[in-house]
Amino acid sequence: MKIVSNIARAAAAAAGAIPRSQTLAGLDLLATAVVMVDGDGRIAFANAAAENMLESSLKALSRQRLCDLFANPAELDHVIGQARAHKFSDLRQELMLERVGREPLFVHAIASALDDPMDAVLLELRETVQQMKLDREERLLDQSQVNKELIRNLAHEIKNPLGGIRGAAQLLEMELPPLHLQQLREYTQVIIKEADRLQTLVDRLLAPHRRPHIVGDVNIHEVLERVRSLMLAEFPAGLAIVRDYDASLPEFRGDKEQLIQTVLNIAHNAAQALAERIDAGDAQIVFKTRVARQVTLAKVRYNLALDLHIIDNGPGIPPQIRDRIFYPLVSGREGGSGLGLTLAQTFVHQHMGVIECESRPGYTDFRILLPLP
Ligand SMILES: Nc1ncnc2c1ncn2[C@@H]1O[C@H](COP(=O)(O)OP(=O)(O)OP(=O)(O)O)[C@@H](O)[C@H]1O
Ligand SMILES: [Mg+2]
Judged by DSSP in three states, 94 sits in strand
Same domain for 156 and 226? no
Same domain for 41 and 120? yes
pTM value?
0.65
Domain boundary among 84, 102, 127: 127
Among protein residues, the one with the nearest Cα to ligand 1's atom 13 is: 331
Count of structural domains within the chain? 3
- CATH label of the domain that carries residue 20: 3.30.450.20
How crowded is residue 46: how many other Cβ atoms within 10 Å of its Cβ? 29
Same domain for 227 and 280? yes
Is residue 42 within 8 A of residue 23, CB to CB? The reply is: no
Query: Please, what is the Cα angle at 364 between 341 and 102, to 5 degrees?
Result: 135
Same domain for 112 and 252? no
Same domain for 221 and 201? no
Is residue 322 within 8 A of residue 78, CB to CB? The reply is: no
Same domain for 243 and 358? yes
Q: 337: Cβ below 6 Å to ligand 1? A: yes
List the domain range (segments joined by +) for residue 108.
Answer: 4-127
Query: Please, what is the Cα angle at 120 between 116 and 126, to 5 degrees?
Result: 130
Among protein residues, the one with the nearest Cα to ligand 1's atom 8 is: 269
Among 321, 325, 355, 356, the mutation site with the greatest number of ligand 1 atoms within 8 A of its Cβ is: 325
Rounded to an integer, what distance in angstroms lies between the CA atom of residue 341 and that of residue 326? Answer: 5
pLDDT by residue for the chain (373 residues), tens only, comes to 333 444 444 444 444 444 445 566 788 888 899 999 998 899 999 999 999 888 888 889 988 999 999 999 998 998 898 888 876 666 778 888 888 777 778 899 999 888 777 888 999 998 887 667 777 777 777 777 787 788 888 888 888 899 999 999 999 999 999 888 888 999 999 999 999 989 988 888 887 766 667 889 999 999 999 999 999 999 999 999 999 999 999 999 999 999 999 999 999 999 999 999 999 999 999 999 999 988 888 778 899 999 999 999 999 999 999 989 998 889 999 888 898 999 999 899 989 999 999 999 999 999 999 999 9
Same domain for 150 and 103? no
Same domain for 220 and 365? yes
Same domain for 367 and 256? yes
Contacts (Cβ under 8 Å, ≥6 apart) of 85 = none
Same domain for 192 and 284? no
Ligand 2 centre to CA of 199 (Å) is 18
Is residue 283 within 8 A of residue 239, CB to CB? The reply is: yes
Buried b (16+ CB within 10 A) or exposed e, 194-205: ebeebbebbebb
Q: 331: Cβ below 6 Å to ligand 1? A: yes
DSSP assignment of 305-338 equals EEEEEEEE-SS---GGGGGGTTSTT---STT--S
Considering every ligand atom shown, identify the ligand nearest to the alpha carbon of residue 273 and give its number: 1
Contacts (Cβ under 8 Å, ≥6 apart) of 324 = 330
Same domain for 183 and 330? no
Q: 332: Cβ below 6 Å to ligand 1? A: yes
Considering every ligand atom shown, identify the ligand nearest to the alpha carbon of residue 342 and give its number: 1
- CATH label of the domain that carries residue 300: 3.30.565.10
Same domain for 235 and 341? yes
